[in-house]
Structure 1
Amino acid sequence: MLKLGGCINILIAIGHIIGLFWADKMFEITGIGKEMKELAQAHSSLPYLLTIFVAIAFFVFGLYGLSADNKFRRLPFLKPVIFLIAGIYLLRGIGELIFDLEKQQTNQFLEITYSLIAVFIGLLFLIGGLRKWNLKHTNE
């Protein structure tokens, strides 16, 4: 589960970087076009820099997933970071689902899909982490 979660995060990171070649289209498809245009008004490079920062975060999440599955060297604070990543995804997914279900918008299907994906990835990290550390009964 942790390996799958890690691989998915690395793919998302790569997708963000590749998407920068068609940034305006990517921002529109993902539903953040308006926000990125407003950000670009402050400085034209900010949407690109923010996307790179987000890609780096996804990549680091991926490395932690692979590290927890022993596919990559052991990273610092592995156990708490795995559960932090799970919490971030679950909070984002469940919180956005609740918010989306309360509002009526045209992009609701896309937003609900992204939220369900976030919940899925969060569960991969949560259940994977629980299996890894509860079955071993160690103080890693």
Structure 2
Amino acid sequence: MFGAPWYQFLGAGERLARLAEAGHWYPTVMALVIASVLLVWASYAWSGAGAMRRLPFVRIVLCLVSAIYIGRGLGFVIIMPYFPGNSMVFWLVSSAICLGAGLIHAIGLRQVWSRL
């Protein structure tokens, strides 16, 4: 909706921004896939918190989600070489957000574990 500048601002890299600028389908599909995954993860978090009906495999999924977020937050140095277009500010900010989300998920999961 906001075009190539937003892909750059959000750290998608120069290549993806150029594809978006050219009207290519790939950046849009990738954004939708990522948004869908995050929506599923959020649904499981709400389910685990009791705010919506219980979803299947809620314990396993929430453990995996927590581990993925924490792993991304702590392991950014390992994946940095695969995305050379991203700035250090992007890596530090996005990693802090992921680590924070992972810790919040893990703390919440520990609090409700017996009810799951």
TM-score by length of 2: 0.82
Stretches of 4+ aligned residues off by more than 4 angstroms? 37-40, 97-100
Give the Cα separation in 2 of the matches to 1:66 and 1:83: 14
Letter in 2 for 1:120: G
Pairing 1:90–2:70 present: yes
Cα deviation, residue 107, structure 1:
2.1
Residues 105-132 of structure 1: per-residue CA shift (max 9 Å, x gap) = 9821232011011000000111111121
Unaligned runs of 5+ in 2: none
Structure 1 unaligned segments of length 5 or more: list them. Answer: 1-20
Matches of 1:39 and 1:91, distance apart in 2: 29
- C-alpha contact 1:64 1:78 (8 A) present in aligned 2: yes
Q: Percent identity?
A: 26
Structure number with the bigger relative contact order (C-alpha 8 A, sep ≥ 6) is: 1
Residue 25 of structure 1, CA deviation: 1.2
Over the aligned positions, Cα root-mean-square deviation in angstroms equals 2.4
1:1-140 alignment, distance < 5 Å = 21-37=1-17, 44-96=24-76, 107-133=87-113, 136=114, 140=116
Which structure dedicates a bigger proportion of its chain to helix?
1
How many residues are treated as equivalent by the alignment? 110
Contact 2:13–2:86 (CA under 8 A) maintained in structure 1: no
Deviation at 1:84, TM superposition (A): 0.5
Distance 1:30 1:39, change over 3 A: same
